[in-house]
């Protein structure tokens, strides 16, 4: 393991005291929070110098952060986020690129890059992140971690900076299933639904795997099915992959511009590569595109609801491949991001939970498999992860 001077996972704020309960279900664990969450005594920078300059020192702590503190977890710092949380690469033009603890020559993935870096480098036990288009699931896959995108709205994002509110969720990372479950008990509580039991194989989503990743990922999927049962083939995509991709981007883009456009227009901040282009795209999204995308979202949600019912769980690759190399040019990273959205957008559009498990990999780098269940099945998905870990299913 390396220290933070080498990992670049934390924003170098001066330390401020953050009290935590002396006892509780998370006592003995340390945690960090992505620099979108307010923590009393710290600014909230959002990965952008203008946002940081405007922030001031916060007087209140975000409720989700406070729940971890009240359960006995010890706060150790705020982690680097991709700029305005609008990236999936983990490379911030202003604050640097947090190091992937599982594959240091490869990107950590964003926008919860610092949180994944901190956990994968052993600098804390747990780290909070956010997932709009894949910003927990992607770095979890890249860094060999457990990571959850919860049912939309299940974990509070009060006191956190928005990107795209109808897509934004609060998730977290750990290195092992047992620790992940301890946090789940605090942040999720119990599911209101019966635990799903029917494993499904989304054939169309599996087609998005890079050929070089197929052998390892399919082998990992066989080990999962040996514990959870054989998966029944289904098709998830509605209309086409392009339809899924563009409707997701139109919704995300419009909401991102509504959130950050006023700041960008007033201060004209120098935005980093990729981020600048995505906000330029977002500014141009039309009302007609948003209306069509919103209608598609409702159709897709009904489609996925019918497919999952109350007891179905999709088994799918989290990402199309292992993390790209840090030296990959921006054009290559953007191509990878666009391929990944085709895998990641289903949960965002339908507001369903998806957990990434560190079960596969190739060439010495990790890769995640995911379980995606009906809305409200979050804790059951974590329990499935616990079952797989207890059965010795892993890389």
Q: How far apart are CA 395 and CA 387, in angstroms?
A: 15
CA-based max dimension of the chain:
56
Residue 1: per-residue pLDDT: 61
- Residue at which a domain ends, from 163, 187, 211: 187
Secondary structure of 372-386 as H, E, C letters: ECCCCCHHHHHHHHH
Mean pLDDT across 358-382: 98
Q: Which residues contact 371 (CB under 8 A, 6 or more apart)?
A: 313, 314, 315, 354, 355, 357, 381, 384, 385
Rounded to the nearest 5 degrees, what angle is found at the Cα of 153, between the Cα atoms of 62 and 386?
95
Examine residue 322 and state whether it is found in any structural domain, yes or no.
yes
182 and 202 co-located in one domain: no
Q: 233 and 355: one domain?
A: yes
Query: Span 141-155, mean pLDDT?
Result: 98
Do 291 and 371 belong together in one domain?
yes
Asked if the structure places residue 1 within a domain, the reply is no
The average pLDDT across 104-133 equals: 98
Residue 164 lies in a domain: yes
Per residue, what are the HEC states of 220-257?
A: HHHHHHHHHCCCEEECCCCCCHHHHHHHHHHHHHHHHH
**pTM for the model:** 0.97
In a domain, 192, yes or no: no
For residue 332, what are the domain limits?
A: 198-390
Assigned domain for 2 exists: no
- Can you give the CATH number for the domain in which 93 is found? 3.90.1300.10
| Same domain (yes/no): 257, 178 | no
Give the number of domains in the chain.
Answer: 2
Q: Which of 87, 117, 135, 370 is catalytic?
A: 135
Q: Are residues 132 and 214 in the same domain?
A: no
At 202, the pLDDT band (50, 70, 90 cuts) reads very high
Q: Which residues contact 240 (CB under 8 A, 6 or more apart)?
A: none
| 111 counts as catalytic | yes
Q: Of 187, 209, 241, which closes a domain?
A: 187
List the alpha helices (DSSP H) in 89-176.
113-120, 137-143
pLDDT (0 to 100) of residue 4: 80
Please give the order of strands across the beta sheet that includes 365-372: 74-79, 30-34, 126-131, 169-174, 146-149, 354-362, 365-372, 312-317, 198-202, 232-234
**Mean pLDDT along residues 69-82:** 98
d(CA 27, CA 32): 14
How far apart CA 233 and CA 279 sit, in angstroms, is 38
Whether 181 and 211 map to the same domain: the answer is no
Please report whether residue 311 resides in a domain: yes
* One domain for residues 168 and 288: no
**246, 347: one domain:** yes
Domain edge (last residue) among 168, 187, 206: 187
**Residues 44 and 158 both lie in one domain:** yes
Produce one character per residue of 189-204: b if its CB has 16 or more CB atoms within 10 Å, e if not.
eebebeebeebbbbeb
Residue 346 confidence (pLDDT): 98
pLDDT at 229 over 70: yes
Q: What is the mean pLDDT of residues 175-188?
A: 98
Q: What is the pLDDT of residue 379?
A: 98
Q: What is the pLDDT of residue 2?
A: 78
Q: Give domain status of residue 368, yes or no.
A: yes
Among 282, 330, 281, which residue's Cα sits nearest to residue 97?
330
Q: Where are the alpha helices (DSSP H) in the chain?
A: 4-7, 49-55, 63-70, 113-120, 137-143, 177-187, 203-206, 214-228, 241-267, 275-283, 287-308, 330-350, 378-390
Say whether the peptide bond before residue 10 is cis (omega within 30 degrees of 0): no
368 shares its domain with 221: yes
- Residue 207 annotated as catalytic: no
Taken in order 111, 115, 116, 117, the sign of the CA dihedral is: positive
Note the residue count of the chain. Answer: 395
Query: Mean pLDDT of all residues in the chain?
Result: 97
DSSP label of 134: S
pLDDT mean over 337-357: 97
The percent of residues above 70 in pLDDT, for the chain, comes to 99
* pLDDT at residue 395 greater than cutoff 70: no
248 and 104 together in one domain: no
Active site residue: 108, 111, 117, 282, which one? 111
Same domain, yes or no: 267 and 380: yes
In a domain, 193, yes or no: no
């Amino acid at each position: 393991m390396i220290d933070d001077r080498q990992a670049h996972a934390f924003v170098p704020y001066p330390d401020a005291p953050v009290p935590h309960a002396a006892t509780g279900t998370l006592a003995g664990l340390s945690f960090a929070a992505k620099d979108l969450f307010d923590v009393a005594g710290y600014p909230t920078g959002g990965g952008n110098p203008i946002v940081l300059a405007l922030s001031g020192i916060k007087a209140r702590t975000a409720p989700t952060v406070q729940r971890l503190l009240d359960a006995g977890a010890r706060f150790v710092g705020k982690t680097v986020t991709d700029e305005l949380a609008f990236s999936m690469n983990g490379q911030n033009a202003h604050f640097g690129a947090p190091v992937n603890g599982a594959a240091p020559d490869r990107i950590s993935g964003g926008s919860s890059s610092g949180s994944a870096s901190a956990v994968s480098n052993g600098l804390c036990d747990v780290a909070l992140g956010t997932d709009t288009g894949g910003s927990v699931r992607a770095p979890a896959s890249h860094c060999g971690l457990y990571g959850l995108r919860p049912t939309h709205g299940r974990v509070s994002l009060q006191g956190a900076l928005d990107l795209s509110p109808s897509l934004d969720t609060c998730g977290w990372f750990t290195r092992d299933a047992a620790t992940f479950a301890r946090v789940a008990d605090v942040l999720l509580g119990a599911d209101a639904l019966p635990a799903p039991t029917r494993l499904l194989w989304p054939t169309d989503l599996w087609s998005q795997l890079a050929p070089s990743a197929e052998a390892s990922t399919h082998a990992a999927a066989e080990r999962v099915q040996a514990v959870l049962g054989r998966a029944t083939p289904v098709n998830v995509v509605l209309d086409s992959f392009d339809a899924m991709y563009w409707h997701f981007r139109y919704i995300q883009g419009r909401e991102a511009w509504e959130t950050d456009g006023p700041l960008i227009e007033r201060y004209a901040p120098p935005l980093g590569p990729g981020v600048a282009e995505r906000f330029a795209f977002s500014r141009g999204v039309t009302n007609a595109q948003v209306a069509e995308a919103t209608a598609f979202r409702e159709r897709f949600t009904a489609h996925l609801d019918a497919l999952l019912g109350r007891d179905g769980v999709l088994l799918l690759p989290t990402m199309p491949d292992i993390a790209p190399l840090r030296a990959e040019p921006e054009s290559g990273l953007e191509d990878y991001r666009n391929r990944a959205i085709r895998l990641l957008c289903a949960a965002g559009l339908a507001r369903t939970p998806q957990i990434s498990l560190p079960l596969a990999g190739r060439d010495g780098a990790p890769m995640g498999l995911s379980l995606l269940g009906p809305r409200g099945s979050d804790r059951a998905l974590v329990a499935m992860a616990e079952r797989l870990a207890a059965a010795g299913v892993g890389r």
